[in-house]
Every structure is written in structure tokens, then in C-alpha cells.
């Protein structure tokens, strides 16, 4: 079902610097290769209120972090085969991203993108989108050219993960501003 532009929700946008992997697709209806964004509870609080001794809980959390690292490395290799275009994301919202890559695109190209929202624990999300245009970098810290990508299809759990990421980044920015303005 196609949504009308006026029905499209608007989302907060946040400046960031995260990695992404991209693959070109033939049409916006092509099946997505990437599946499963798991929104897991914060593992640090998993033992609160349980009878697990604190030391055992800390050991299990450390073991979990090490397993996340191994899974992350194995997943990255497979993802790079399926999504051969690396990109640096400078801006993200529930509507799309602004990214840099050394690969060339044309407005109207359809792609699937996997965003690395977090490395530890590994949090990946995916969307299908259309390349809108090429832009110059918005600051000296960013590389040019940058491409604007509008999400045309994103699963509900992936959208929720992106919105949570944006919200966390906004909160962090607000905390940092308060900290530096109080000094």
C-alpha cells in the first residue's frame, strides 16, 4: 500500500556518526535480505530482584558481552558480503538518513541499508529507501559528497529501534549541553 506524502509521519532528526552497509536493489518492492531487529531489555537490569548472587550476575554479564563481540564479528563478515557498499551516516531519523560513501548513486536509486545503531551490544536495523539527492557536507568534520536517503519501507520494529536511537542521542546531547553550560 502506497502512503500519501501528507500521511507520512515526521520524526526528529539527529546528527550522528554511525556505520552502515548498503546494497542496491532493483525495485522498492524487492525482498529485504536483512531480518530481525531484536529490542532486548537492558541486560544490566536482568538480575534485579532475582536470587542470583551479584558476583555471578556480573560474571554472566561479562560473558554475555564477550559473546556479543564474537557474534558481532561473525555477523559483520556476512553482512559485508550481502551489503557490499560501506557508508558513514551523519544524520538519522525515522524518515531516512544522510550518508557518505565512495560509491556513486543517482537520484531514484533504490537500496536496502543496514544501520549499526550500536556496537556493544550489537544493534542493527534495516530499511529500504530511495536516494533523493547529493549534497555537500554540512560541517568540516564530515566528508562530501553526502547522499540523502528517504525510507520507503521499514518494519515496525526497525522503525522503533531508529526512533529509540534518535531519542537516546537527543538526551545525550541535552545532558552534554547542560554539563558544559554549568561549568
pLDDT at 1: 41
Query: Please, which residues bridge with residue 126 across strands?
Result: 114
Whether residue 122 is contained in a domain is answered as: yes
Whole-number pLDDT of residue 2? 45
Query: Quick one: pLDDT at residue 183?
Result: 57
pLDDT tens digit sequence for 2-53 = 444 444 567 888 889 999 999 999 999 999 988 765 545 556 667 777 888 8
Measured between alpha carbons, how far apart are the two ends of the chain, in Å?
52
**Total domain count, the chain:** 1
* Strand ranges for the chain from DSSP E: 13-25, 85-93, 96-100, 110-118, 123-135, 146-153
Residue 172, in any domain of the structure: yes
* Residue with cell string 558476583: 55
Q: Is residue 154 domain-resident? A: yes
- β-partners of residue 25 are 110
Query: For residue 4, what pLDDT is reported?
Result: 45
What range does the domain containing 158 cover?
Answer: 13-27+42-180
The residue among 20, 37, 25, 33 whose CA lies nearest residue 130 is 25
* pLDDT tier, 73 (very low <50, low <70, confident <90, very high otherwise): low
pLDDT at 43: 60
Tens of pLDDT along 86-142? 999 999 999 999 999 999 999 999 999 999 998 777 788 999 999 999 988 777 777
Residue 39: per-residue pLDDT: 47
Using one digit for the tens of pLDDT, what is the confidence trace for 159-177? 999 999 999 998 988 888 8
In a domain, 78, yes or no: yes
Residue 57 domain flag: yes
CATH number of the domain to which 118 belongs? 2.40.10.220
Task: Compute the CA torsion angle 4, 7, 10, 11 (nearest 10 deg).
Answer: -100
Greater model confidence, 182 or 128: 128
**62 domain residue, yes or no:** yes
pLDDT of res. 12:
83
Amino acid at each position: 500500500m502506497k502512503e500519501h506524502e501528507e500521511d507520512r509521519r515526521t520524526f526528529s532528526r539527529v546528527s550522528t556518526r554511525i556505520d552502515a552497509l548498503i546494497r542496491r536493489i532493483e525495485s522498492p518492492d524487492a525482498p529485504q535480505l536483512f531480518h530481525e531487529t531484536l529490542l532486548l531489555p537492558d541486560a544490566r537490569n536482568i538480575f534485579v530482584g532475582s536470587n542470583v548472587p551479584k558476583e555471578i550476575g556480573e560474571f554472566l554479564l561479562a560473558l554475555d558481552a564477550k559473546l556479543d563481540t564474537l557474534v558481532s564479528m561473525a555477523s559483520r563478515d556476512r553482512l559485508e558480503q550481502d551489503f557490499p557498499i560501506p557508508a558513514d551516516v551523519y544524520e538519522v531519523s525515522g524518515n531516512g538518513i544522510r550518508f557518505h560513501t565512495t560509491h556513486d548513486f543517482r537520484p531514484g536509486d533504490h537500496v536496502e541499508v543496514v544501520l549499526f545503531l550500536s556496537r556493544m551490544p550489537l544493534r542493527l536495523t534495516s530499511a529500504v529507501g530511495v536516494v533523493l539527492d547529493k549534497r555537500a557536507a554540512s560541517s568540516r568534520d564530515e566528508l562530501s559528497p553526502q547522499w540523502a536517503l528517504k525510507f520507503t519501507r521499514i518494519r515496525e520494529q526497525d522503525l522503533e529501534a531508529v526512533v529509540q536511537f534518535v531519542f537516546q542521542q537527543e538526551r545525550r546531547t541535552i545532558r552534554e549541553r547542560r554539563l558544559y553550560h554549568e561549568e
